[in-house]
Homo-oligomer: A and B are copies of this chain.
Amino acid sequence: MSHVTLEDVARAAEVSLATASRALNGRRVTPHLHDRVLAAAARLAYTPNAHARALAGASRRSVGVVCHDVTDPYFAAVAGGVMRVAADNDLLVMLASTFRDPEREIAYVSMLRAERAPAILLIGSGFEDPRWERAMAAELAPYLDGGGRVAVVSRHRTLKVDSVLPENRSGAAELARALLGLGHRRFAVLSGPPELTTVADRLGGFRDELTAAGVALDPGAVAEAAFTRDGGYRAMTELLDRGLDATCVFACTDVMAVGAYAALRDRGLSVPGDVSVAGFDDIPVVRDLAPPLTTVALPLHRLGEEAMRLALTENTARRRRVVRLPGAVVLRDSTAPVA
């Protein structure tokens, strides 16, 4: 019924509490006693109470990770990297999914703070909302003061914490160059919520490169929607309804591109026959779409791994550390040269 405590183990092994604790934690104890304690612990199916342990000052072994949506392949891939490193370090990951609700994100950080997680990872674009930023800062500052580690993936403005940044801007620019190289001159963009920093970077990088090449991106050729498959579907449909005349569509994320494929298919348009499509991220599945999607490949797993690593290693420098990971344009069959 109740739990087996260290005291039960100590009594069973006929040693003191202190000795039992030491034996279980691998501190120096006479082999004889050591074995007796371990045997007793096993016999009683003892599991130390992590809370008591944490309270007594032992170091915590479970880090917190907050992402927008585990269901999204992008986050799943990054989380995969995080978990890999966590597993290698014997860490338990407390993964929270915010469902893209800023309020909930802050609530989660607060819970993680209460859990005294030694590190908190924030995965995914932040919100460019001053109110939100202030609230998040208010939550994070005392946490950092208390010795907590924070690392973020893909958000720059938020606080001065260690970050892993995919090079969205240059990746999008490079993609634009590649598409221009294929002869495209009329583009459309499926964009995400403007308050996400990622959107600003990718759209900005793409547009600037076009501009530099003397190609204008008609504001009417940009449709905004959620960063989801359905968002991509809606945005693409909207563009089609407006009378799309682009030869190439850039979806700010692969997930949106997937939705775009569906929208195009529903209208009887072929990719890349009628229109070329390019995405961003290189989530695993886009390789298997028909046609395989041209995209900017990000090392998704590494994004997570590096963030975890940052959170795990002390920041000796006085400034925030920033790991920049470049994307690489991968041309697949969803983009064709303009005839």
Give chain A's interface residues, CB within 8 Å of chain B: 1-4, 45, 47-55, 61-62, 69-73, 76-77, 79-80, 83-84, 87, 92-97, 99, 104, 108, 110-116, 138, 141-142, 145-147, 229, 258, 261-262, 284-285, 287-291
Q: B113 and A47: CB pair below 8 A?
A: yes
Give Cα A47 to B143, complex, Å.
9
In the assembled complex, the CB of A6 is this many whole angstroms from the nearest CB of chain B, namely 12
**Contacts known (A50-B116, A76-B70, A229-B288); A4 close to B142, Cβ less than 8 A:** yes
Q: B50 and A115: CB pair below 8 A?
A: yes
A51: contacting residue among B54, B84, B95, B142, CB under 8 A: B54
Residues in B neighbouring A49, C-beta threshold 8 A:
55, 114, 116
Q: B73 and A70: CB pair below 8 A?
A: no
A146: contacting residue among B1, B142, B145, B285, CB under 8 A: B1
**Contacts known (A114-B50, A115-B62); A2 close to B95, Cβ less than 8 A:** no
Copies in the complex: 2
New A-B contacts (13) at CB < 8 Å, excluding given A1-B145, A62-B94, A93-B94:
A47-B113, A49-B116, A51-B55, A51-B115, A53-B114, A70-B79, A71-B284, A79-B97, A83-B97, A92-B94, A93-B95, A93-B96, A262-B287
**Contacts known (A287-B262, A289-B289, A290-B289); A71 close to B61, Cβ less than 8 A:** no
Q: A290 and B290: CB pair below 8 A?
A: yes
Residues in B neighbouring A285, C-beta threshold 8 A:
73, 258, 285
Considering only CB atoms, which chain B residue lies closest to A61 in the complex?
B111
In the assembled complex, the CB of A121 is this many whole angstroms from the nearest CB of chain B, namely 13
Q: Which of A47, A69, A73, A138 has most chain B Cβ within 10 Å?
A: A47
Residues in B neighbouring A145, C-beta threshold 8 A:
1
Residues in B neighbouring A262, C-beta threshold 8 A:
287-288
Considering only CB atoms, which chain B residue lies closest to A98 in the complex?
B87
Residues in B neighbouring A54, C-beta threshold 8 A:
51
| 11 A-B interface contacts by CB (under 8 A) | A49-B114, A50-B111, A50-B114, A51-B116, A70-B95, A79-B97, A92-B94, A92-B108, A92-B115, A94-B94, A288-B289
Considering only CB atoms, which chain B residue lies closest to A44 in the complex?
B142
In the assembled complex, the CB of A29 is this many whole angstroms from the nearest CB of chain B, namely 21
Give Cα A4 to B113, complex, Å.
12
In the assembled complex, the CB of A93 is this many whole angstroms from the nearest CB of chain B, namely 6
A258: contacting residue among B4, B70, B71, B288, CB under 8 A: B288
Residues in B neighbouring A111, C-beta threshold 8 A:
50, 61-62, 92
Give Cα A70 to B77, complex, Å.
8
Residues in B neighbouring A83, C-beta threshold 8 A:
70, 96-97, 99
Give Cα A4 to B72, complex, Å.
37
Residues in B neighbouring A52, C-beta threshold 8 A:
51, 55
Residues in B neighbouring A62, C-beta threshold 8 A:
94, 111, 115
Residues in B neighbouring A288, C-beta threshold 8 A:
229, 258, 261-262, 289
